[in-house]
């Protein structure tokens, strides 16, 4: 009797785990975004972004965008995650809709710089056919940041993905690359993003952040949070150092015509038969005699300033408060003609002989004041 052959057991074939972009989770955008940060290779990310650019922009704009250095396409992995999310026809929660809204403008900003690169490569074109593409200051700064510090930060993130416990001294990095405090906001946006992500995962404030970083030990999350806080502190120090080194702009002195533009004074007093000098001659003078015809007071202003007197509005500036003096004249019609002819020393003697009370002047000049004399 023939012996029946034993039946072979059917074994289930285990499905191979999807990797790369195909393995990106689609149940949560934050999971998808973090997957692109940690799991998707640059080559695959660049290919995804290029395909999207060619599909979304016309031929000339797409050509310009793709003419930029390749790091512009892969430096922000979340752009790739956003494209993948859109390609699958998925909607964004209100919390993450900004990723969708910021996607296209980011690449539109690369059109001008790309056209410039294309124009530079076409050196054989006639001069009249060349289009001069001028980048605005912010675009120039962004390009410089992308080519310097952004590369260092990207390398740091790659090291963290590989499990290395590394950090970066942003203060030294700014000096190394010759970056000014104006570049701080570019770095802040990246470091603050990391800090928020790791803090949410460590403090368990966001379920999606916790799931996305479940493979990272709490001790490492804490270390990364501390590293981000140190980087933020470095950025604050860079801003403060910039303020400390900022040169104080010396005020530009106004011309004599501008200083006396609003000055009010009495041009002539017929009762005392005196006429005011040109007020412009006061600027830079070291001594000034002013007669108030209403109160019959004579004021002698004196200054030791190298630049002499200045006028601001209707007030004399720069006079020596202690040495300047005012006295009331009992017989102004007799004293003034003598005072105008005498030397400084002779005037001083006559002025001291006046028996009225001496007061200190305020520097204000009004419509009752006659400008008698100005000496350099």
**Rounded Cα gap, residues 25 and 356, in angstroms:** 97
Say if strands 287-292 and 369-375 run parallel, antiparallel, or are unpaired: antiparallel
Q: pLDDT at residue 342 above 50?
A: yes
Cα 193 to chain centroid, rounded = 20
Q: What are phi and psi of 67, to 5 degrees?
A: -80, -15
Average pLDDT over residues 127-137: 67
What residue spans define the domains of the chain?
Answer: 18-135, 147-245, 256-375
pLDDT at 235: 92
Write the burial class of residue 128 (CB in 10 Å: 0-12 exposed, 13-18 middle, 19+ buried): exposed
Q: pLDDT at residue 8 above 80?
A: no
Query: What is the distance between the terminal CA atoms of the chain, rounded to a whole angstrom?
Result: 141
% of the chain exceeding 70 in pLDDT: 91
Band of pLDDT at residue 191, cut at 50, 70 and 90: very high
Average pLDDT over residues 320-335: 87
Q: Which helix (H) or strand (E) holds 218?
A: helix 218-245
pLDDT digits (tens, 9 = 90+) for 37-88: 888 888 888 889 999 999 999 999 999 999 888 878 777 888 888 999 999 9
pLDDT digits (tens, 9 = 90+) for 192-237: 989 998 998 899 888 878 887 888 899 999 999 999 999 999 999 9
Strand-pair partners of 326 = 299, 359
Report the range of poorest mean pLDDT among 98-112, 125-139, 180-194, 231-245.
Answer: 125-139
pLDDT at 17: 55
Radius of gyration, alpha carbons of the chain: 39
């Amino acid at each position: 009797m023939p012996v029946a052959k034993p039946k072979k057991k059917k074994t289930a074939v285990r499905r191979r785990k999807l990797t790369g972009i195909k393995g990106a989770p689609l149940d949560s955008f934050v999971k998808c975004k973090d997957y692109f940060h940690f799991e998707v290779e640059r080559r695959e990310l660049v290919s995804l972004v290029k395909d999207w650019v060619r599909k979304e922009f016309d031929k000339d704009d797409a050509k310009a965008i793709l003419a930029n250095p390749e790091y512009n396409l892969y430096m922000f992995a979340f752009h790739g995650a956003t494209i993948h999310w859109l390609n699958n026809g998925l909607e964004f929660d209100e919390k993450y809709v900004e990723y969708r809204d910021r996607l296209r403008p980011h690449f539109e900003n690369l059109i001008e710089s790309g056209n410039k690169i294309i124009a530079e490569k076409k050196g054989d074109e006639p001069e009249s056919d060349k289009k001069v593409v001028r980048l605005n200051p912010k675009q120039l700064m962004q390009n410089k940041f992308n080519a310097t510090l952004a590369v260092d930060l990207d390398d740091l993130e790659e090291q963290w993905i590989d499990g290395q416990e590394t950090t970066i001294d942003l203060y030294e990095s700014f000096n190394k690359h010759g970056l000014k405090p104006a570049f701080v906001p570019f770095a802040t946006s990246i470091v603050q993003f990391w800090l928020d992500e790791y803090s949410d995962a460590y403090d368990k404030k966001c379920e999606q952040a916790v799931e996305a970083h479940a493979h990272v030990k709490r001790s490492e999350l804490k270390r990364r949070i501390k590293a981000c806080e140190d980087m933020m502190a470095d950025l604050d120090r860079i801003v403060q150092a910039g303020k400390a080194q900022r040169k104080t702009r010396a005020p530009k002195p106004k011309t004599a015509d501008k200083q006396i533009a609003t000055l009010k004074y009495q041009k002539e007093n017929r009762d005392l038969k005196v006429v005011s000098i040109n007020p412009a001659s006061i600027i830079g003078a070291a001594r000034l005699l002013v007669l108030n015809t209403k109160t019959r007071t004579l004021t002698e202003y004196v200054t030791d300033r190298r630049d002499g007197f200045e006028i601001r509005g209707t007030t004399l500036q720069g006079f020596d408060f202690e040495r300047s003096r005012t006295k009331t004249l009992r017989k102004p019609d007799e004293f003034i003609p003598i005072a105008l002819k005498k030397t400084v020393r002779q005037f001083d003697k006559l002025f001291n002989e006046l028996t009225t009370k001496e007061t200190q002047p305020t520097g204000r000049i009004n419509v009752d004041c006659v400008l008698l004399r100005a000496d350099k």
